[in-house]
Chains A and B, each alone.
Chain A
Amino acid sequence: MTTADAAPVRRKSLRRTLSDSRAVQLIILTIGVFILWGIISSIIERPDRYLPSPLTTLISSADLLEKGVLVSFYSDTLTRLVIGSIVGLLMGIPFGLILGLNRTIADMFYPLMNFFQSVSGIAIFPIIVIWFGNSNTTVMIVILYTSFFPIAFNVLSGVRAVPMRYISAARTLGATRFQIIRDVLLPGAMPSVAIGSRLSIGFAWRAVIAGEMLAGQAGLGNMIFAGQELDNTAQIILGMALIGFTWILLDHFLLRPLESDTIERWGLVTR
């Protein structure tokens, strides 16, 4: 006797299937948000200043595209993100590895790192501006500063999570210190590296936007900031939408698959 016999097969109606489907819900939601947005912007006074209609926002994007600014802003921001996060990861991974390998060094630097992590990158921004002025260097330093800590902490805990018996086994078989790092610790810490990288890049993305805004360097962050100063609200909303969608696409199609693939490939280490 199986449960299938007991339970009568109920077919879902077409309407139910449709309303349960994620894609349909997402489409309904998107249309609903746009309609609501349009209604609100037609009700309020001075919509140009407070909430321009979706159409106005689109037209302003065509205007910016025509001038070629939008593309150049976009590429500036992305370039900063890519360079900043790669350098940040290249600095953070070895640092975390060293801390993970040696308990004395880890005990020494952990409180310091903890302190500096809580000094957020945005808070040190004024100091960096005094040191380097409103320049590209300032933005890059803020990006590096914010992206360094999540990856370093994650690599540290990843290396520590590798079970001792794997290291002992490799050592019994005559592995050198370098071989243990290359063949045991690094692959064992790989899932943490992936998780930390995603976190780091997320922080770097926020830092890029904030840095561009405050230091006045060309890019998406500066675009929305300038939009506020020029009273061009359509430009602000366009910039925000671009920032949001870029991050969703980046996260959904690049970082998340990378993370889950890494965990699948190297996630042998049981925790």
Chain B
Amino acid sequence: MTALTEFSIAVQKRFGRQRLRKFILGLIPFIVLIALWEMNTAFVWFDPVEIPPITDVWEAIFWLQSDCPSFMAAVDGHNGCQLSNNVLSSIGRVMLATVVGVPLGIGFGILAGMNRTVSAYLEPIGVFMNSVSGIAWIPLAVVWFGVGWETTLFIMLNTIFWLLFFNTMMGVRAVPRVLVQGVQTLGGSHLDTIRQVYLPGAMPSIITGGRMAMGFGWRALIAAEMIGGDSGLGFMIFVSASEFKTEEVFLGVILISIIFLATDRYLLVPLEKWTIERWGLVWKPT
């Protein structure tokens, strides 16, 4: 037995044959794509302005951070740290929108789920708001709030709020009446039913809505930064594109998707799984 087969058997035992196969197969297109990209640099099929070399994209990180004195300065948002400033400002906006939008969306969603009259009036507004996609709000938001963080925050809030509202409402409605009446019979107040029955019962639906809201919100945020922003990754790629600095655009696009993928994969998906395991008794995915 050669060392190679021994090694491969050890790896297969460690990670599992099927998972290993999937991983390697999934890696192939990426490798091919990167090889093609590199070959383009070597043979210049396309102009570097159209498709920049990989090394240039990598160096753009340092080029953008070149005026940054130290790590602490980057955290403080020093003027020289262009890349980290833009990344931080995008992430900061997401966090701010989450902190404001999530409680609002859940609150109104529970209210609408419990009360038919409230939902009768809020639901059509929500349907309309969702139909006017987040992007279509950008011009009006720019007129109202000017170019800057208020506009981007408004766009993102608008997207997050309605998605969460709808999902919470659906989740609350799916809670069986029996459970609510059970708590009421035992002398539970309105607040008790919300805290003990509606909120846990709707939790899986809320988290799924939150994941959706994150996906749509992130897209809307990038678009809003492009048109009505003065900082952030969307702003960065838009400005770089107008100056034909393609390597910065590629870097920005890759960062945008990596940040989204990482948040989704390592934060929201585990959260969703855990919630469904913990509370997933009534809700079925639609």
Contacts and interface: CB of A to CB of B under 8 A. Distances in A.
A188 B269 CA distance: 29
B241 interface: yes
Interface residues of B, number: 54
B139 A122 contact: no
Contacts of B222: 120, 122-123
B28 A244 contact: no
Contacts of A160: none
Contacts of A236: 139-140, 143
Contacts of A248: 127-128, 131
A130 B234 CA distance: 15
A95 interface: no
A122 B223 contact: yes
Given A109-B29, A118-B257, A122-B222, A224 B237 contact: no
B136 A29 contact: no
A231 B142 CA distance: 11
Contacts of A241: 132
A126 B131 contact: no
A22 B117 CA distance: 10
Interface residues of A, number: 54
A104 B28 CA distance: 12
A108 B33 CA distance: 13
B280 to A, nearest CB: 17
A244 B137 CA distance: 11
Main secondary structure of the interface of B (DSSP, over half): helix
Interface in A188-245: 205-206, 209-210, 213-214, 221, 224-225, 227-228, 231, 233, 236-237, 239-241, 243-245
A50 B143 contact: yes
Given A104-B25, A123-B256, A130 B241 contact: yes
B261 interface: yes
Contacts of B150: none
Given A29-B124, A111-B30, A130-B50, A119 B246 contact: no
Interface of A: 19, 22, 25-26, 28-29, 33, 49-50, 104, 107-112, 114-115, 118-120, 122-127, 129-131, 205-206, 209-210, 213-214, 221, 224-225, 227-228, 231, 233, 236-237, 239-241, 243-245, 247-248, 251
Given A122-B234, A225-B227, A244-B132, 7 more contacts: A111-B26, A112-B29, A119-B253, A119-B257, A122-B222, A126-B249, A127-B250
Interface of B: 21-22, 25-30, 33, 49-50, 117, 120-121, 124-125, 127-129, 131-140, 142-144, 218-219, 222-223, 226-227, 234, 237-238, 240-241, 244, 246, 249-250, 252-253, 256-257, 260-261, 264
